[in-house]
Amino acid sequence: QKEVEQNSGPLSVPEGAIASLNCTYSDRGSQSFFWYRQYSGKSPELIMFIYSNGDKEDGRFTAQLNKASQYVSLLIRDSQPSDSATYLCAVTRRAAGNKLTFGGGTRVLVKP
């Protein structure tokens, strides 16, 4: 079982719709959760981070964390073609010296 799992996609979303991305993790000791966006050929860009159960909103992005079920999700509202990218979920575990463990990423395609 991978430590951090994401559906590789592609997730195809019409322009203006909501994109919903999911990420599950195996270690219940995980403390911090991050979402990065990576355009093709570019480096990852931090979108959001969340530490506590519940929702955290920033503009068109909402991160949702459920530690009991060991998943974190990212919602992108009013999706735009410029949101087409790979979204990487990352998790830190205190037991592993707070190292960041990445999932394989979900590719999102927003169609006009």
For other proteins, which residue of 4, 21, 76, 85 counts as binding (CB under 8 A)?
A: 4
* 102 touching other proteins, by CB under 8 A: yes
Q: How far is the CB of 35 from other proteins (least distance, A)?
A: 12
Q: How far is the CB of 76 from other proteins (least distance, A)?
A: 19
Binding to other proteins in span 68-97, by CB under 8 A: 88, 90, 92, 97
Beta strand 11-14 pairing with 106-111: parallel
At residue 19, what are phi and psi to the nearest 5 degrees? -95, 130
Q: For residues 40 and 112, which CB has a smaller minimum distance to other proteins in the complex?
A: 40
For other proteins, which residue of 20, 49, 56, 70 counts as binding (CB under 8 A)?
A: 49
Q: Is 96 helix (H, G, I), strand (E, B) or coil?
A: helix
Q: How far apart are CA 94 and CA 111, in angstroms?
A: 40
Per the DSSP assignment, residues forming a β-bridge with 87 are 37, 106
Q: How far apart are CA 15 and CA 29, in angstroms?
A: 37
* 105 touching other proteins, by CB under 8 A: yes
For 96, half-sphere exposure in the C-beta direction (CA atoms, 13 angstrom radius) is: 13
Q: How far is the CB of 68 from other proteins (least distance, A)?
A: 23
* 106 touching other proteins, by CB under 8 A: no
